[in-house]
Amino acid sequence: MTTSPSQKILCVLYPDPVGGYPPKYARDGIPTLSQYPDGQSLPTPKGLGFTPGQLVGSVSGGLGLRQFLEGQGHRFVVTSDKDGPDSVFEKELPDADIVISQPFWPGYLTAERIAKAPKLKMAITAGIGSDHVDLQAAIENNITVCEVTFSNSISVVEHAIMQILALVRDFVPQYQWVVNGGWNIADAVSRSYDLEGMDVGVVGSGRIGFGVLKRLKPFDVKLHYNDRYRLPTEVEEELGLTFHETVDSLVSACDVVSIHCPLHPETEHMFNDELIAKMRRGSYIVNTARGKICDREAIARALESGHLAGYAGDVWFPQPAPLDHPWRTMPNHAMTPHTSGSSLAGQHRYAAGVREILECWFEGRPIRNEYLITQGGALAGAGAHSYSEGDATGGSEEAARFTA
């Protein structure tokens, strides 16, 4: 075992519960899984540092890493204060060796911030999706970027299915009638439809998109998909899938579109006024991928005009979203904060994956290929399959307005 010299690990996590940490848990534990659906093994760290089912994604949870890191002589700084020039993140970054962040409360590693951190050698995403890192700047500065592939994919799949049904069945207003003391059935069902028989498409058929397709088949819908890589013929036949070579073709054929592609320069603002205009009137968009894949003003306009019947998802740009973000107040939405991948089960897996990555890094062992996004000055591993070079962090400084 190689002994690593002392390093500074700067970790950005979302704040603790308003009612204090730890929360009262609704259940005594979580199910134990043996492997992911495609056979990939779950994270295999030598230790864990927490009990599965605990809230470890917030500041006090610290991903269960404190004892492990400080026990080896490393400095571990955890904060939720991440935005603006006076933030803890900005002040602690210049001498950091490793940065850990989450997609749900991202510490945006822009080119400007990377330039201020000459010692930075690794950026780890506790979860999936490393678009909060300027990948071009990471490549140019030989920074290794990793994420815990598949750790919370099924968590996101379940969230997407929930939001598809919430939109089509118009669940949120019906729930609100109950909360407000009403029994207004006519109002509650006037925008409620059956998913059965609809055309439903996914943009991106990777682990999450494919998981959504598999779970939608029993709903007796007509399934469509678009991806860089076409699925095997036998899979298309088994699920009854229609492949579309372009997103334009897919959206024009569907009543519901669920977005599951990564954010990079090629997908940034893909769903703009022009693309949305090609969708059927009264269609729905669910976006559990990345907020910036959609033009936020275009989405709001389409809901106001009625061209879109509903929009749901849990991803915004920037994150946290400023209080005046139009998606907070636009009509017929079913938005959540970025929670789809941070269920207590998802946290267990992505925290364990971060621990595995750190153990490999400190001991000089290779990091799993499926965890790599950039390495050695180039896209690598999962990154070479899913991302393109470039930067999608522009505008992230607006997140500071959330607490301003």
> Mind telling me the catalytic residues?
152, 290, 319, 338
10 Å CB burial of residue 305 (0-12, 13-18, 19+) is: exposed
**CB of 148 within 8 A of CB of 43?**
yes
Residues 6 or more apart whose Cβ sits within 8 Å of residue 91? none
Closest by alpha carbon to 156, among 371, 269, 351, 315?
Answer: 315
User: Which residue type does 398 have?
Assistant: E
Between CA 354 and CA 331 the distance in angstroms is 39
- Residue 18, H or E segment: none
Nearest to 150 by CA among 385, 392, 395, 398: 385
The CA-based angle 394-395-399, given to 5 degrees, is 135
Paired with 372 in beta bridges are 146
Whether residue 58 contacts residue 13, with contact meaning beta carbons closer than 8 Å, is answered with: yes
- Longest CA–CA span in the chain (Å) reads 68
Best CA proximity match to 348, nearest among 30, 107, 106, 71: 30
Please tell me whether the peptide bond between 320 and the residue prior to it is cis, using omega within 30 degrees of 0. yes
Q: In what order do the strands lie in the sheet with 75-79?
A: 75-79, 8-12, 98-101, 122-125, 144-147, 372-375, 378-379
Residues 17, 150: Cα–Cα separation, whole Å: 26
- The reply to whether omega before 17 is within 30° of 0 (cis) is no
